Structure 1
Amino acid sequence: MDHSERRRAASPAALIVALCALVLACSGGSGDMALAADPAAASRTDAPAPPPDANAPSRPDPRRGSWTGPLREIVGRWKGRARAESNGRVSASDIQVSVHVRALGSDGGGVELASLDPDTPHCPASNLKLVTTAAALVLLGPHQEFQTPVEWSADVRDGVLQGDLVLRAAGDPIVAVDGDARVEARLDPIADALRRAGVHRIAGRVVLDEGTFPDPGPGPGWPDPSQYWQEHCALAGGFSINAGVLQARVRPGHTGASAHVEVHPWPTGLVPRLGVTTKKGKLDVRVGATRTTLTVRGSIPPDVPIYLPDFSHPDPVTLFGEVLEDRLTRAGIRVDGGVVRERGVPGAEALLALRSPLDGVLVPINTHSRNSVADQLFLALGLAIEGAGTRDAGADATRRALRSLGVPLDGFHQVDGSGLSRDNRVSARQLTALLAGVFARGNETERLFRESLAVAGRRGTLAKRMVGTSAEGHVQAKTGWIRGVSAISGFCEAASGELLAFSILVSYPPSADGLNTRIFKPMEDEMLVALSEADR
């Protein structure tokens, strides 16, 4: 659903405007922020509305709790089906379902319509991305930018830069909103600035100062290492490009001929093993990357226009450095000392800052559920607000944001930005309080957040769900799944025109393969269709 298609009037909170400086001051962030504000933001950033008190009793309303019974009946029926579907291996008592639904009034608080075990903390899977993106919008403002400082000695003699070129880590994932991995040119402003200064050679090195960011590695509670080559396990670090994800572009040739294969971002620093043939039959292209080798091999039918598999690079910082050196070389700038990684490099004179808009990462995170983009934002938020690009700092920053939104923190625990870790915990009530708090902010914060979500039957991870139902186009939400977890939380526009905030969190035995598709997704969809048909 486009924001312009909403059937409700804008919240009065959307009319409140204040200086961006006030937002930053309230955030408690450090003065040296890698996620830096748009200089014009002071004239247009929306001020935070008073957060709703998530623990305060709602106004007397005959609808309070009116949906608890109908939703409990749906849950009970699908639990029974889960037992039958699993041949008795999974009983109703093995499945924990938490549901919370609140109507969104003008203050963003509204009346509680449904409450099924809403305060039990669950592993939320990708529903945690709602916390990460909301925190970034609330603490930094909707017009923020990632800024990667580039420094130099400014000593240029006969076209040769004396000394090093230094980049300081900011955590920018450098991604395209549409998922196209051909983003190498996003680094070209560095070569452009050097060429304008007459530089055609760097006598020293290109230094990637990773600062306080951790070495790229799996997070706590991640899947087993056999999955690390897959896109959903791409790593985060101080530097990245396309969020550490490689994309093969495979186009068939004539039958029997070699297919055309490209990989982006390029170069990768890995030894390529590329070989795909064009032949009739099933698509069979295998991709992967190890510490030394990149593989794209197999076969593609001639009637497949293009195949675009994604997979993770083993080190996003290495990938960034390889692409940067290549872009400098393409611009006619030679680097004598190559690209190196260090920490704590002394400051030098500013040459420029690579910039990316914060709002450019919201759709990749919430619509397309790109884990490494969310993890990059989580680390960058830690640097911007707490002064360190670490998991602990990122978690401190998001808790700060939740407090400002009036979200109760009992039982909440966050260790990554994506929700891939099994150690994360959040309750259904906390998620609807978060949604209500963002709604109360109004203006750009609410608009960007809601427009970043998947839409039932239309877009993203919900494109094939609730198609042809009353919920199609009227549910904006974030989905989530890892083994043993199914989740969906977001906004539902009821037939009455009222906007609802909802969260459905399901925990079940991880060994119960297939139940998410056959049981829990249909259960969630039935509840959302029922809510979308609600009238006052």
Structure 2
Amino acid sequence: MYSRRWILTALLASAAVPSCAEAPARSPRPASKPGSAIARSGGSDAIVAAAGLGGTVGFVVMDSRSGKIIEGMNETVAQPPASVAKAVTSFYALDRLGPGYRYATRVVVTGPVQNGRLQGDLVLVGSGDPSLDTDRLGDLAQALAAKGIKEISGRYLAYAGGIPHIDEIDHEQPDFVGYNPAVSGLNLNYNRVNFEWRRGTKGYDISMDARGKRFMPVVSMASVSAVAREAPLFAYKGGKDRDTWTVAQAALGKAGSRWLPVRHPEIYTAEVFATLMRAHGLRLPQAVLIGALPAGAIVAETRSDPLTEVMRDMLKYSTNMTAEALGLTASGADGLKASAAQMQAWAAAKHGISSRFVDHSGLGGDSRISAADMAKAFLAARQGMLPTLLKQQGVRGADGKEIKNHPTRVVAKTGTLNFVSGLAGYVQPTSGKELTFAIFSADTSRRDALSMSERERPPGGPQWTRRARDMQAKLISHWAAQYT
């Protein structure tokens, strides 16, 4: 049974972060691989032991110029990378697509326009752009309206063949979490729809919309109804072209909103575009999805930012859908596992990295890579653009607080799943030795023991994650003081 406080917290969270379960208060120091000659200082050992995380902690820190390993612990043990995997996806996509690559979403017509009437079909064409939002779709609608089309004689078609349709990234996640949506050639708002509720005199007023900063079109392909139950919090029923949800009425309170995942992003995007066009006086019939793109002329388009900027946002906000779209575009594979396997093969062939990837975002808990191989990947990417795209992390003092104006910068990618926490990146002093590092912590036996209902917020999860992140900060501060 959910507590009311927990339910309200979960409802109001726009993208909840999977957390972890309680670990023992004390834990023996994780053992290094037998025969390992890599040194560890007493400071690093003490920091790991004090965290008391259980499971396995593995790390490696190396000299960025020479690649020489300075310290390591369980450095060859393969562990789940969580969202640190997005860094590998980034330099894979950079290698395959190039930094200037842009996604395009287009409107194509199959006939001439005569006196404001299109003599043919109108086609919304997606290439897999993960950054398309309602405001940009509104700009596309305005560009089309400027062509003077007021009616069409044919059909309204939607083509999403740029990348394959994926129902959800990881089937082991709760179905209502916004960070586990579908992926397709037509994506919108990270494939999430906004659910808003307000209690009235005769029950709840509920709406679904695709809000942006400038436009807020109502959505009908997704619906929610409040039902008299305590649990489950949400229940999903999929249809051919609809997402139907019910929510426990007892959880709603007076008012609120949250984003829900979309399982039919092609229908969602096409419907929102039709709503935006209606505001310009063009009424489109219901969209028909097609699997082959007809010949025609491009009459309007919107392009994404260059790949580097799309990746910068992905690494900053850790958007899973963006990572999957980038990986699928880079590989050209017809499915997520096949695409991840191609990235895995690329990493092995190009950089000698041993890994197992089941996706491009790290959301799937079956991906594995060791701290040593992740650090090797970051070392290989050091001369490229990755260091400039990563989020800056502060160096912290003994009190755990960030030291302002510290001469050393740390740029890194974080990763968090239930019982899993990772961090990898670079320690960059203004002078002296630059370091490349990777830190993984995972208690996979506890993670695997979770039921589906526990995966949103397991008891003790936030405490475990805080200890893991505190350990990471202390290790980095120790290395910055000791080796840079």
Instruction: Tell me the TM-score range normalised by the shorter chain.
Output: 0.7 to 0.9
Determine the structure 1 residue equivalent to 2:402: 468
Distance 1:354 1:496 in 2: 44
Counterparts of residues 55-454 of structure 1 (less than 5 Å) = 65=38, 67=40, 70-78=43-51, 81-82=52-53, 95-105=55-65, 109-175=66-132, 183-211=133-161, 213-219=163-169, 222-224=171-173, 227-247=174-194, 263-265=209-211, 266-270=217-221, 291-293=243-245, 298-299=252-253, 309-336=258-285, 338-357=286-305, 358-383=307-332, 388=333, 390-392=335-337, 394-395=339-340, 398-399=343-344, 402=347, 406-410=350-354, 412-441=355-384, 445-446=385-386, 448-450=388-390, 453=391
Q: What fraction of aligned residue pairs are identical, expressed as a percent?
A: 23
**1:95-123 CA deviation, whole Å, 9 max, x = no partner?**
22211111222xxx532212222222211
Distance 1:466 1:252 in 2: 43
**1:226-246 CA deviation, whole Å, 9 max, x = no partner?**
x11111212211211111123
Q: 1:68 Cα shift?
A: 5.5
Distance 1:111 1:364 in 2: 31
**1:27-46 CA deviation, whole Å, 9 max, x = no partner?**
xxxxxxxxxxxxxxxxxxxx
Q: 1:523 Cα shift?
A: 2.0
Q: 1:192 Cα shift?
A: 3.5
Q: Which amino acid aligns with 1:156?
A: V
Q: 1:501 Cα shift?
A: 1.4
Q: Which amino acid aligns with 2:268?
A: L
Q: 1:500 Cα shift?
A: 1.6
Distance 2:85 2:267 in 1: 28
Distance 1:294 1:363 in 2: 36
**1:15-72 CA deviation, whole Å, 9 max, x = no partner?**
xxxxxxxxxxxxxxxxxxxxxxxxxxxxxxxxxxxxxxxxxxxxxxxxx955565423
User: Is contact 2:169–2:180 with CA below 8 Å preserved after alignment?
Assistant: no
Q: Which amino acid aligns with 2:182?
A: L
Q: 1:420 Cα shift?
A: 0.9
SS of the residue aligned with 1:114? strand
User: Is contact 2:156–2:287 with CA below 8 Å preserved after alignment?
Assistant: yes
User: Is contact 1:249–1:309 with CA below 8 Å preserved after alignment?
Assistant: yes
Determine the structure 2 residue equivalent to 1:282: none
Residues 518, 349 of structure 1: alpha-carbon distance in 2 compared, 3 angstrom cutoff: closer
Distance 2:336 2:387 in 1: 28
Determine the structure 1 residue equivalent to 2:427: 492
SS of the residue aligned with 1:267? coil
Residues 187, 482 of structure 1: alpha-carbon distance in 2 compared, 3 angstrom cutoff: same
Distance 1:343 1:274 in 2: 33
The TM-score, its normalising length taken from structure 2, stands at: 0.73
Q: Which amino acid aligns with 2:151?
A: R
Distance 2:77 2:296 in 1: 51
User: Is contact 1:169–1:209 with CA below 8 Å preserved after alignment?
Assistant: yes
Q: 1:247 Cα shift?
A: 3.8
Residues 110, 172 of structure 1: alpha-carbon distance in 2 compared, 3 angstrom cutoff: same
Distance 1:396 1:526 in 2: 35
Residues 522, 446 of structure 1: alpha-carbon distance in 2 compared, 3 angstrom cutoff: closer
SS of the residue aligned with 2:124? strand
**1:482-534 CA deviation, whole Å, 9 max, x = no partner?**
22322111222358553321111122132584362353222222212212323
User: Is contact 2:168–2:182 with CA below 8 Å preserved after alignment?
Assistant: yes
User: Is contact 2:353–2:376 with CA below 8 Å preserved after alignment?
Assistant: no
Q: Which amino acid aligns with 1:292?
A: T
SS of the residue aligned with 2:79? coil
User: Is contact 2:57–2:439 with CA below 8 Å preserved after alignment?
Assistant: yes
SS of the residue aligned with 1:534? helix
User: Is contact 2:197–2:207 with CA below 8 Å preserved after alignment?
Assistant: yes
Distance 2:178 2:59 in 1: 30
SS of the residue aligned with 1:334? coil
Distance 1:186 1:363 in 2: 19
| Comparing 189-198 and 128-137, the one that deviates more | 189-198
Residues 216, 392 of structure 1: alpha-carbon distance in 2 compared, 3 angstrom cutoff: closer
Q: Which amino acid aligns with 1:71?
A: S
Provide structure 2 residue ranges, at least 5 long, that are not aligned to the other structure: 1-36, 212-216, 227-232, 238-242, 450-458
Q: Which amino acid aligns with 2:122?
A: L
Distance 2:86 2:80 in 1: 12
| Comparing 188-197 and 430-439, the one that deviates more | 188-197
SS of the residue aligned with 2:425? strand
User: Is contact 2:341–2:358 with CA below 8 Å preserved after alignment?
Assistant: no
User: Is contact 1:233–1:372 with CA below 8 Å preserved after alignment?
Assistant: yes
Alpha carbon RMSD of aligned pairs, Å?
3.7
The TM-score, its normalising length taken from structure 1, stands at: 0.67
Distance 2:198 2:381 in 1: 43
Residues 379, 466 of structure 1: alpha-carbon distance in 2 compared, 3 angstrom cutoff: farther
Q: 1:368 Cα shift?
A: 1.8
User: Is contact 2:208–2:222 with CA below 8 Å preserved after alignment?
Assistant: no
Q: Does 1:478 align with 2:432?
A: no
Alignment coverage as a number of residue pairs: 411
Q: 1:393 Cα shift?
A: 5.3
Determine the structure 2 residue equivalent to 1:455: 393
Distance 1:245 1:210 in 2: 17
SS of the residue aligned with 1:480? strand
Residues 438, 112 of structure 1: alpha-carbon distance in 2 compared, 3 angstrom cutoff: same
SS of the residue aligned with 1:347? coil
User: Is contact 1:146–1:355 with CA below 8 Å preserved after alignment?
Assistant: yes
Q: Which amino acid aligns with 1:362?
A: M
User: Is contact 1:249–1:308 with CA below 8 Å preserved after alignment?
Assistant: yes
SS of the residue aligned with 1:72? helix
Residues 249, 114 of structure 1: alpha-carbon distance in 2 compared, 3 angstrom cutoff: farther
Q: 1:193 Cα shift?
A: 4.0
